[in-house]
Structure 1
Amino acid sequence: MKLLALETANEQCSVSIVDENQELFFQLDTRAKAQTQTILPMVEQGYAQLGLNTADLTAIAFSRGPGSFSGVRINAAVTQALAWSHDLPVIPVSTLQALAQAAYRLHGLTAVTAVLDARMSEVYIASFQLNEQGIMQAVDAEQLLDYQQAAQVAQFTLVGSGSALIKPEALEFKDIMATAQDIAQIARVAAQQQQWVAAEQALPVYLRDNAWKKIPEQGKS
């Protein structure tokens, strides 16, 4: 089994290639909004380093949102294009779940409320707990809420860019960001159980209705 994992939903870009046991390739570009220029070259670099191509993959995993509108859209589009080209299944992974997985990977946290800044005085939020397979699983639904509402539904340790927005004292884990490593970790377990979908179902999740109309209000290009 070989999986390609892509993460562009957080205004950065990372690529991971894993097999059933280990990470084979990882690269991260932290420059904001450089995804369109870097995602495919990074994939090609991984292929070249490992002597692989898309046809050798079992599936492609991607962060499907919620997150940066443009970043989520890029991730879904690249995943669809690669998967369609070789009739591969895809594994959509929640950006909030990936953030929770990063909190476990980096700090060993096993119960977190993942919170991402959604702009316009709102956040994306959901809570997660670690299961026996070492994967953070949702214990409630993903929501788009204002700061006050979000503070009321937060269950566990706050992590992510929206943490201090809903609780000003929640500073310790506000800088945690998910990467393709976290997408790959979640997707590996899903792939072993063949929990995937066809390429045409590699759809972005925004949570906000008519997100494209509100980009200027969010300060995004």
Structure 2
Amino acid sequence: MKLLALETANEQCSVSIVDDTQTLFFQLDERAKAQTQTILPMIEQGLQQANLAAADLTAIAFSRGPGSFSGVRINAAVTQALAWAHDLPVIPVSTLQALAQAAYRQHQLTEVTAVLDARMQEVYMASFRLDAQHIMQPVDQEQLLDYAQAQHNARFTLVGSGAALVQAQATEYQTLAASAQDIASIAHQRALQADWVSAEQALPVYLRDNAWKKIPEQGKS
């Protein structure tokens, strides 16, 4: 099995290629809002370094949101284009789940409430718990909440860019962000069960209705 994993739903961009036993390629570009310029060259570099063609891949995994509107849109569009062009299945992964996976990977946290700043005095939130396969699994629904609602719904240790917005003292893990490594970890387990979808179902998840109308209000481009 060989998986290509993409993460642009945050303001950074990362690409990973993994097989059943190891990471064949990983690259992270932390420049804000540079995904459009970096994602395709990074994919090409990854395939070359892993000595693979796109047609050799088993599936493409991507961070499907919620997150930065433009970042989520880029991730879904690139994934769809590659999957259609090479007749590959797709594994959409929740950005919040990937954030929870990053909390386990980096800090060995096994129960977290993942919180992302959604702008406009709101956050995206969901809680996760580690399973026997070392994957963080949801214990509740992804939601778009105002700060007061989020504080009421926080179950576990808060991680992510919205953590301190919900609880002022929750600053320890507020800079934590998911990468394609976390997308790959989650997607690999799903790929073992052929838990994937076709290219046309590689759809972004925004949680906010009419997200495109609110970009100026979010301060997004």
- Aligned residue-pair number: 221
Letter in 2 for 1:135: I
Separation (CA, whole Å) in 1 of partners of 2:22 and 2:59: 16
Matched with 1:62 is 62
RMSD (Å), alpha carbons: 0.4
> For residue 113 of structure 2, what is the amino acid of its counterpart?
T
Question: Distance between the aligned counterparts of 2:143 and 2:23, measured in 1?
Answer: 32
Distance across 1 between alignment mates of 2:123 and 2:168: 14
Aligned to 1:12: 12
How far, CA to CA, are the matches of 1:47 and 1:85 in structure 2?
15
Q: What is the alpha-carbon distance in structure 2 between the residues aligned to residue 164 and residue 78 of structure 1?
A: 32
Amino acid at match of 1:106: Q
Distance 1:109 1:56 in 2: 35
CA deviation after TM superposition for structure 1 residue 22, in Å: 1.1
Partner of 1:74, secondary structure, is helix
1:164 maps to what in 2?
A: 164
Aligned to 1:187: 187
Query: What are the ranges of 5 or more consecutive residues in structure 2 without an aligned counterpart?
Result: none
Question: Deviations 1:121-158 (Å, cap 9, x if unpaired)?
Answer: 00000000000000000000000000000000000000
Deviation at 1:180, TM superposition (A): 0.1
Task: Please state whether the residue corresponding to 2:104 is helix, strand or coil.
Answer: helix
1:123 is paired with a residue of what secondary structure?
strand
Matched, 1:41 2:41: yes
Give the C-alpha shift of residue 51 in structure 1: 1.2
Separation in 2, partners of 1:178, 1:81: 23
Instruction: State the shift of 1:217 in Å.
Output: 0.3
Name structure 1 gaps, 5 residues minimum: none
The aligned counterpart of 1:199 is: 199
Aligned twin of 1:26: 26
Runs of 4+ in 1 over 2 A off after TM superposition: none
Q: Counterpart of 1:217?
A: 217
Code of the residue aligned with 1:93 in structure 2: it is V
Shift of 1:199: 0.4
Residue in 1 that maps onto 2:88? 88
Rounded to whole Å, the distance in 2 between the matches of 1:121 and 1:16 is: 33
**In the alignment, is residue 97 of structure 1 matched against residue 97 of structure 2?**
yes
Q: Could you tell me which residue of structure 1 aligns to residue 53 of structure 2?
A: 53
Residues 187-220 of structure 1: CA deviation (Å, up to 9, x unaligned): 0000011000000000000000000000000001
**Residue type matched to 1:125 in 2?**
M
Superposed counterparts of 1:110-149, under 5 Å:
110-149=110-149
Distance 2:168 2:194 in 1: 41
In 1, the alpha carbon distance for the partners of 2:143 and 2:125 equals 5
**Other-structure match for 1:175:** 175
SS in 1 for 2:134: coil
Partners of 1:171 and 1:83 in 2: how far apart? Answer: 39
Q: In structure 2, what is the Cα distance between the partners aligned to 1:53 and 1:72?
A: 25
Q: Give the alignment's TM-score, normalised by structure 2.
A: 1.00
Secondary structure at 2:119's aligned position in 1? coil
- Percent identity among equivalent residues? 78
